[in-house]
Chains A and B, each alone.
Chain A
């Protein structure tokens, strides 16, 4: 299946042959998945120089036989008769329409999966209708869905080159492990401790069982065969055994402590580096990533997930190794002692591992579910806390409690599910252990009575000791599988952030410009946040360096989008932007951002003093500079009136500022950066008219010698603009100076009239 744009899929060539259409004549082709009655089909819309075709291949046929007229249908439209084409978007997907003889006819239908491609196809087909030349260039700029090189599957998330199919859990585990690589010396130490401990563990039952019973208690004096005990009286031999046992136990503790200290010494460091990497990755990501995800979820990600991963690696992994070694060691000793009994002891273990293998995926699932519900709950809590004022103002405390109990019920249910499932898991393990040890007892006693293999009582006791020794590791296994799945779940989420590719990518060799002049040009820029709704449509702009450039228009007209594009928070879908003649995509993002300062409606005040807030983008500023900026922003006065002046701590949890105050601090921040391009996005919307006038005066002072782009609702704000554009539905409706626009008596004139009327109604004169 191909989604590649413009290419003719090879499998339809035989069908083209059947209809006598030379494949080389096809200019562009796009695949569609619905017929006009919304049945799923294999459809291809393509056009040649003279005709537009819609080919539908019947999917149900067993064998491809193009000559079978049942297998395909072809519609043909003469391009010379087609007046225009359009996309008719539906809630999901859409229709491709052509106009023939004043009637609009549907030609193809498609789901959302092909929406983008069809929009592109429509653009191309329009070019053909207008007899414009279609070049290679037209195909290149389409975003083609990227394919995983291993399995050829499309990446489920665009821009994130992670193929879930080819990414396996093992590689995930080793990738997490790679964070611990620099600490390999610790690992060697830990492994040594583990080996010694496991060895001693395996030795203990042998000492306390076989040696104690058969060589000391059961043997006549002097008959012991082991070198240390040979020729000693029973009491002495007993003493030696006890001392050796004591020594083994104590040294086990000592090695255990050493191991613990080694682990604690490096794991926090490794986790620190994971956390830092997640945070760095998040800073690198584009705005889109944040607007698509709940903030609560991201918080959980950094905090809990890395801790969870740490817990597994600090506690789980070493003990996992210990237990595996004990399991192997004990089984080996048992086999040497009596292989028949061993079979009875270990017969059920493979069954156990097999059932774990079967039960694990479900467990993985349940943990995912719990994580989702916890994340949901956190988001709800966060929303509630942030919006506390609104909740109280509307008296919605009860409803909020209800909302919370809904999400917290889900967390509760998820927890119950996990515990239930876990019990089943644990139950299986315990029963297997009990059955195995009972079997050994029974069969062993029978062996002793019947003198099978000369099994002695001491050997049986020792043997039972080893069977009991299997219990610990098996218990642990039942637990560690759950732990492992949980921790990998967390690692996976962490890597999802780390691997996410920013939508806005810097080219490999960007052009560096310390200082920009501030000439901005937009050429035929089209942009949309979602594929079927164009926010900007073929916008052309030319902003000269040093100009005060105003953008007006109703909300939703695309004003802020223009700024988002100039600041390169997003890249245009079509067209190009130039700054000082350099394509924006080739310019180093760092340099661009250094030369741009934005004051927007959304003010961002972080925890810190007012002075630190103003100096956010230029921390090295002197106090004098900070104050000058505040004076220009008309903020100096209110700051000074605060008891702690510029040292007042603001931000969440500290002193809260009014909307206007926050805005003025943001303005001061931008002033301090002294950028070549200053963007004011409704910068003065939260302040009263008088204050606005004052700020405006200072801004006028500020705009000298730099490019200023100003978006304003209040048209009076833009009185001094050198050039104004009026945006309407993503298009430039009018442009010119204030005076020219008023004279045109168009949209701008209407807006002015409306506003002055509205202001007059509210008793606010302009």
Chain B
């Protein structure tokens, strides 16, 4: 190898390293960090010699892989990423529970147990359902209000942007399926 080529290889490697550090995702494990539950019911976080009084946790794949690639972020308006949890399964149970609580808070949406009535009128559908949180009434647009997450899982969004989940479409009665079929 000539020196020119060596130089070139070296420069290339340097640039590659730079790119790698730039795009590196910090891995958060139970060894290199501590989560503590605060009195307010949130999580404080200690990582790389820094303590954050409250952090938020985002799912990278909320539907397809809800327990993996959890992004831990600070509470500033930019919500900077502090690091990422690879898989929740690797964590001790108590912390797992704490994290799951936070996730539940962030991703909460009522589960549709029963559809009583969907009435369509002039561009809006008036829904009356029974959820795991009791009976609910809401108004949704008729223009694709239901998003298909998987073959059986659906998410209804109302005009305010609230979401209601149908975990398993096939478990609804034939009548209920027919009622909402028009909106899918």
> Could you list which residues of chain A lie within 8 angstroms of chain B, going by C-beta atoms?
36, 38-40, 88, 90-93, 95, 97, 102-106, 111-113, 115, 156-157, 162, 164-165, 167, 297, 364-366, 368-369, 372, 376, 492-493, 496, 534, 537, 729-730, 761
Let me know if B120 and A368 touch, CB within 8 A: yes
From the candidates A112, A167, A729, name the one contacting B161 in the complex (CB within 8 A). Answer: A112
From the candidates A112, A164, A729, name the one contacting B121 in the complex (CB within 8 A). Answer: A164
How many angstroms from the CA of A324 to the CA of B56 in the assembled complex?
68
Measured between beta carbons, the chain B residues less than 8 angstroms from A90 are: 105-108
Tell me the interface secondary structure of chain A in the complex.
mixed
B179 CB to nearest A CB, Å: 10
Let me know if B39 and A105 touch, CB within 8 A: yes
What 0/1 pattern do residues 70 to 85 of B give for CB contact below 8 A with A?
0000010110000000
Measured between beta carbons, the chain A residues less than 8 angstroms from B53 are: 102, 104
How many angstroms from the CA of A92 to the CA of B39 in the assembled complex?
24
Please name 24 pairs of A and B residues whose Cβ atoms are closer than 8 Å in the assembled complex, sorted by A.
A38-B105, A38-B108, A39-B134, A40-B133, A90-B106, A90-B108, A91-B109, A92-B109, A93-B162, A95-B105, A102-B53, A104-B40, A111-B162, A112-B161, A156-B123, A156-B141, A156-B159, A164-B121, A365-B120, A368-B120, A368-B142, A369-B182, A493-B123, A729-B78
How many angstroms from the CA of A299 to the CA of B140 in the assembled complex?
23
How many angstroms from the CA of A368 to the CA of B38 in the assembled complex?
51
From the candidates B105, B136, B143, name the one contacting A40 in the complex (CB within 8 A). Answer: B136
Let me know if A106 and B134 touch, CB within 8 A: no
From the candidates A92, A164, A364, A729, name the one contacting B124 in the complex (CB within 8 A). Answer: A164
Measured between beta carbons, the chain B residues less than 8 angstroms from A106 are: 40-41
A759 CB to nearest B CB, Å: 15
Measured between beta carbons, the chain B residues less than 8 angstroms from A364 are: 120
Tell me the number of A-to-B contacts counted with CB atoms below 8 Å.
Answer: 92
Measured between beta carbons, the chain B residues less than 8 angstroms from A104 are: 38, 40, 42, 53-54
From the candidates A103, A366, A761, name the one contacting B39 in the complex (CB within 8 A). Answer: A103
Measured between beta carbons, the chain B residues less than 8 angstroms from A112 are: 160-162
The reply on B139 being an interface residue by CB < 8 A is yes
Let me know if B108 and A92 touch, CB within 8 A: yes
The reply on B23 being an interface residue by CB < 8 A is no
How many angstroms from the CA of A115 to the CA of B158 in the assembled complex?
14
Let me know if B161 and A372 touch, CB within 8 A: no
Let me know if B163 and A92 touch, CB within 8 A: yes
From the candidates B62, B77, B110, B124, name the one contacting A156 in the complex (CB within 8 A). Answer: B124
A129 CB to nearest B CB, Å: 18
Let me know if B40 and A103 touch, CB within 8 A: yes
B69 CB to nearest A CB, Å: 16
List the 6 shortest-distance A-B pairs measured between CB atoms, nearest first.
Answer: A164-B122, A105-B40, A113-B160, A112-B161, A112-B160, A164-B121
Most buried by A among B53, B122, B123, B141: B122
Let me know if A534 and B108 touch, CB within 8 A: no
Measured between beta carbons, the chain A residues less than 8 angstroms from B123 are: 156, 164, 492-493, 496
Tell me the nearest residue of chain A to B59, going by C-beta.
A91
Measured between beta carbons, the chain A residues less than 8 angstroms from B122 are: 162, 164, 167, 492, 496
From the candidates A39, A156, A297, A730, name the one contacting B133 in the complex (CB within 8 A). Answer: A39
What 0/1 pattern do residues 15 to 26 of B give for CB contact below 8 A with A?
100000000000
Measured between beta carbons, the chain B residues less than 8 angstroms from A165 are: 121
Q: Given A40-B136, A492-B123, list of 13 further CB < 8 A pairs?
A: A38-B110, A39-B133, A91-B62, A91-B106, A92-B109, A105-B40, A106-B41, A156-B139, A157-B159, A164-B123, A368-B182, A492-B122, A496-B122
Measured between beta carbons, the chain B residues less than 8 angstroms from A113 are: 160, 162
What 0/1 pattern do residues 84 to 114 of B give for CB contact below 8 A with A?
0000000000000000000001111110000
Most buried by B among A39, A88, A104, A167: A104
Tell me the nearest residue of chain A to B121, going by C-beta.
A164
How many angstroms from the CA of A366 to the CA of B41 in the assembled complex?
49
A29 CB to nearest B CB, Å: 20
The reply on B177 being an interface residue by CB < 8 A is no
B76 CB to nearest A CB, Å: 9
How many angstroms from the CA of A93 to the CA of B54 in the assembled complex?
19
A43 CB to nearest B CB, Å: 14
Say which size band chain B's interface belongs to: 35 or more
Tell me the nearest residue of chain B to A116, going by C-beta.
B160
Measured between beta carbons, the chain B residues less than 8 angstroms from A91 are: 62, 106-109, 163
How many angstroms from the CA of A443 to the CA of B134 in the assembled complex?
59
How many angstroms from the CA of A65 to the CA of B34 in the assembled complex?
48
Let me know if A92 and B161 touch, CB within 8 A: yes
The reply on B13 being an interface residue by CB < 8 A is no
Measured between beta carbons, the chain B residues less than 8 angstroms from A167 are: 122
Let me know if B40 and A97 touch, CB within 8 A: yes
Measured between beta carbons, the chain A residues less than 8 angstroms from B78 are: 729
How many angstroms from the CA of A376 to the CA of B143 in the assembled complex?
10
The reply on B150 being an interface residue by CB < 8 A is no
B9 CB to nearest A CB, Å: 17
Measured between beta carbons, the chain B residues less than 8 angstroms from A105 are: 39-41
How many angstroms from the CA of A104 to the CA of B133 in the assembled complex?
27
The reply on B144 being an interface residue by CB < 8 A is yes
What 0/1 pattern do residues 120 to 148 of B give for CB contact below 8 A with A?
11111000000001101001011110000
Measured between beta carbons, the chain B residues less than 8 angstroms from A730 are: 77
How many angstroms from the CA of A365 to the CA of B77 in the assembled complex?
44
B111 CB to nearest A CB, Å: 11
How many angstroms from the CA of A598 to the CA of B142 in the assembled complex?
36
B177 CB to nearest A CB, Å: 14
Let me know if B77 and A534 touch, CB within 8 A: yes
How many angstroms from the CA of A543 to the CA of B144 in the assembled complex?
44
Measured between beta carbons, the chain A residues less than 8 angstroms from B108 are: 38, 90-93
How many angstroms from the CA of A40 to the CA of B120 in the assembled complex?
25
B164 CB to nearest A CB, Å: 10
How many angstroms from the CA of A246 to the CA of B126 in the assembled complex?
57
Tell me the nearest residue of chain A to B124, going by C-beta.
A156
Measured between beta carbons, the chain A residues less than 8 angstroms from B109 are: 91-92
Tell me the nearest residue of chain A to B139, going by C-beta.
A156
Let me know if B162 and A729 touch, CB within 8 A: no
Tell me whether A372 and B133 are in contact in the complex, defined as CB-CB below 8 angstroms, given that A90-B107, A91-B106, A92-B161 are known contacts.
no
Tell me the nearest residue of chain B to A293, going by C-beta.
B143
Let me know if B142 and A372 touch, CB within 8 A: yes
How many angstroms from the CA of A88 to the CA of B41 in the assembled complex?
13
Measured between beta carbons, the chain A residues less than 8 angstroms from B54 are: 104
How many angstroms from the CA of A164 to the CA of B140 in the assembled complex?
12
Tell me the nearest residue of chain A to B62, going by C-beta.
A91
A112 CB to nearest B CB, Å: 4
Measured between beta carbons, the chain B residues less than 8 angstroms from A157 are: 124, 159
How many angstroms from the CA of A105 to the CA of B120 in the assembled complex?
41
Tell me the nearest residue of chain A to B161, going by C-beta.
A112
Let me know if B143 and A372 touch, CB within 8 A: yes
How many angstroms from the CA of A729 to the CA of B54 in the assembled complex?
21
How many angstroms from the CA of A102 to the CA of B120 in the assembled complex?
50
B138 CB to nearest A CB, Å: 9
A62 CB to nearest B CB, Å: 16
How many angstroms from the CA of A156 to the CA of B142 in the assembled complex?
12
B63 CB to nearest A CB, Å: 12
How many angstroms from the CA of A364 to the CA of B120 in the assembled complex?
9
Measured between beta carbons, the chain A residues less than 8 angstroms from B139 are: 156
How many angstroms from the CA of A513 to the CA of B162 in the assembled complex?
44
A536 CB to nearest B CB, Å: 12
Measured between beta carbons, the chain A residues less than 8 angstroms from B141 are: 156
How many angstroms from the CA of A103 to the CA of B37 in the assembled complex?
11
Tell me the nearest residue of chain A to B42, going by C-beta.
A104
Measured between beta carbons, the chain B residues less than 8 angstroms from A534 are: 77
How many angstroms from the CA of A91 to the CA of B134 in the assembled complex?
21
Let me know if B162 and A92 touch, CB within 8 A: yes
How many angstroms from the CA of A106 to the CA of B160 in the assembled complex?
22
Most buried by B among A111, A368, A730, A761: A111
How many angstroms from the CA of A363 to the CA of B141 in the assembled complex?
19
How many angstroms from the CA of A495 to the CA of B57 in the assembled complex?
44
How many angstroms from the CA of A297 to the CA of B143 in the assembled complex?
10
Measured between beta carbons, the chain B residues less than 8 angstroms from A102 are: 53
How many angstroms from the CA of A110 to the CA of B45 in the assembled complex?
26
B161 CB to nearest A CB, Å: 4
